[in-house]
Amino acid sequence: MEPAGEWREIEAKYEDVLARVVGVPEYQRPYYRKWVNEFMGFCRLRHLGDAKVEALDMFLEGLRKRGRLGFQVEQARVAVEVFWMHFRSGRDSRTDGKPGSIAGSGGSGLGPGAVAISDEGAPGVGNPNGNPSRDLNRVPGRDKETDKRRDKGPVEPGGEDAMPGDWIMAMAGLRKEVRLRHYSAKTLKAYVHWVRAFSRFVSNAPLRSVSSGHAREFISHLATERKVSASTQNQAFSALLFFFTQVLRIGLEGLEMTPRAAKRQEIPTVLTRGEVQAVFARLEYPYKLFVQLLYGCGLRLSEGLMIRVQDLDLGGGGLRVHYGKGEKSRSVPLPKSLIPALEKHLQSVRAVFDADVKVGFAGVFLPEVLERKIPGAARGWPWQWVFPAGRLTVSEGDGKLRRFHLHESTVQKEIKAAADSAELSKRVTPHTFRHSYATHLLQMGYDIRIVQDLLGHNDLETTMIYTHVLQSLAGKVVSPLDV
C-alpha cells in the first residue's frame, strides 16, 4: 500500500494515541498529524523508507533550513517517533541503542541521529557542534575492540523508543532547554543519560506521579548501591535538578538540600622535562607536533583539536584559543621552536584542502550559527582545521562530504603507546602535558597569576594546586630519615 493511503487509514488511530497514551492537548494534535504527513510525503518523493532514522534526520535538517523554529523541529521529531513507536515497532532501522537507532541518537549527545564512529588505526569521526557525521570507510563489526569502545559509556539498551509518550516529550524538552542555554554537547549527553537512568529507576512511571522523593532515592541508590564516584553522583544530581526545575517546572522541595558528595582533591601527575622529551621522541607526525603544541601552550585536548588556521598567528607568535572550558577564549604565546614545523605542517594541510575542493567537498564542520552568518566559511581556508582527520566524512544532515579534525581517542592512544614505549611509571594522558606546562612555568619563576591567565582558570585556587606539586619537586621539605 502507498504510504499516503496507509497514513489515511491509521491517522485516526494516531490521533487516539496522541490523546490517550501521550496526552497531547487537543489543540496541538493537528500539528503532530501534519508533521507525520509531511514526513511520509518527504520519504515518498525521495524514495526513502519511512522507518529510517536517516530519513528523519534529513527531514528535520530540511525543516531547519526552511527557517522552522527550534520548538517546531522538536515537535516534528517527537511526532514521528511516537508514530514509529506505535505503528512501526518492527522497523528495520531499530537496533536497540546502536548507531542509527532512536535509542542511539538520544544517548550520543551529538544531536538526533548522530553517529560518532572511529576506525581502528585511523582518525575517526564526531562533531562537537551537534552535526551528525559518519565515517565513509567504516565497516561495522570489523574491529570488535573499536565497537566495544564506541559503545562504552552512558548509552544503554532501552532508550527513548522504550519510554512512554510523556517521557519522550520530556526528553525533547530537555534537549531544547539545554540547547537554549548553549550548554556543551557533553553536558547534553550526560543530562540525557541520567534522565534516562532515572526513568528506568522509577519504572517509567507517569511523570505527573514523580516527585522529589523519587529523585532523592535515586541519588541515594547511586551512592550506596552502585557506589559511583563523587563527581558522577554530583553530575546526576545536577542533571535531575535541571530536569525537574527547567523542563518539568516542578519545585523540588528538599532536593536542593541533598548533600553533595565531597570530591577528592587530586594532585596532578607531572612529567619531568626529560620524560616529556622521551614521549616526544616516540611520537610520529602529526601527533608529535600536536602533543608538542599541547605542552608548549598548556592546552586541553579539546582546545588543541579545535584549532583552526586563522587561530594561529605565526608572525606574531601567538595562538587564540576558542571554545575553552566554559566557552571562554584566551590568547597564549606560541613556542618559537615550533613555528618552522607549524609552517611546514600548514603547507601539507593546504595541499589536502586543495584536493578536497577539487572533489567538491562541502567544507569543515562549523557551528550552525556560523554556517548561517558567514555563508561559504566552511570552504574557506581560514576556517580549516590545523589538525584535520585523515579522511572525508559524510554529514548525515545533508549527505555532503566534510572534513573533521583528529579524533580525541586516536590522540589518546598514540600518547599511551609512546609513554609505554618510554617505560614511564606514570600514567600519561593528554592532560598530563597541561599539568606539566603549568608546573614547569612555576619552576621557571613565573608569577602564579600569569600562569592562571595562560591556563584560563577562573579561580586562582585552581591554579594553586600546582604549587603543591612544585614544593614536592623542589625538595624544600627534608625527611627526618635523611637528616
CB 393 within 8 A of CB 111: no
List the beta bridge partners of residue 401. Answer: 394
* Residue-wise DSSP of 374-425: STTGGGSGGGSBSSEEEEEEEETTT--EEEEE--HHHHHHHHHHHHHHTT-S
Measured distance CA(322)–CA(329) in Å, rounded: 5
Question: What is the pLDDT at residue 127?
Answer: 34
pTM (two decimals): 0.60
Mention every residue, 6+ apart, whose C-beta is less than 8 A from residue 138.
117, 119, 125
Give the neighbor-by-neighbor strand order of the sheet with 330-333. 312-313, 318-321, 330-333
CB 39 within 8 A of CB 56: yes
Cα diameter, the chain: 92
Tens of pLDDT, residue by residue, the chain (483 residues) = 455 566 777 888 888 888 877 777 777 788 888 888 888 888 888 777 777 787 888 888 888 877 777 778 888 888 888 888 888 754 443 333 333 333 333 332 223 332 222 332 332 223 333 333 333 233 333 333 333 333 333 333 345 556 777 888 888 889 888 888 878 778 888 999 999 999 888 888 888 888 878 888 888 888 888 888 888 888 998 899 899 888 888 766 665 555 555 666 678 889 999 999 999 999 999 999 999 999 999 999 999 999 999 999 999 999 999 876 766 789 999 999 999 999 999 999 999 998 888 877 888 888 767 777 888 888 899 999 999 998 887 776 666 778 889 999 999 999 999 999 999 999 999 999 999 999 999 888 888 889 888 988 888 877 888 876 666 665 566 678 776
Measured distance CA(261)–CA(149) in Å, rounded: 28
Query: Which of the listed CATH numbers 1.10.3720.10, 1.20.200.10, 3.50.50.60, 1.10.443.10 matches domain 273-469?
Result: 1.10.443.10
Question: What is the pLDDT at residue 143?
Answer: 36
Q: Three-state DSSP class for 286?
A: coil
Measured distance CA(45)–CA(464) in Å, rounded: 62
Q: How many CA atoms lie within 13 A of 132 on its CB side?
A: 25
Query: Which of the listed CATH numbers 1.10.760.10, 3.30.450.20, 1.10.150.130, 1.25.40.10 matches domain 97-113+154-264?
Result: 1.10.150.130
Nine cell digits for residue 446: 613565573
Amino acid at 418: A
Question: What is the pLDDT at residue 362?
Answer: 81
Measured distance CA(53)–CA(96) in Å, rounded: 12
Q: Which residues are catalytic?
A: 300, 325, 431, 434, 457, 466
Measured distance CA(338)–CA(341) in Å, rounded: 5
* Residue-wise DSSP of 26-86: GGGHHHHHHHHHHHHHHHHHTT--TT-HHHHHHHHHHHHHTT--HHHHHHHHHHHHHHHHH
Question: What is the pLDDT at residue 227?
Answer: 83
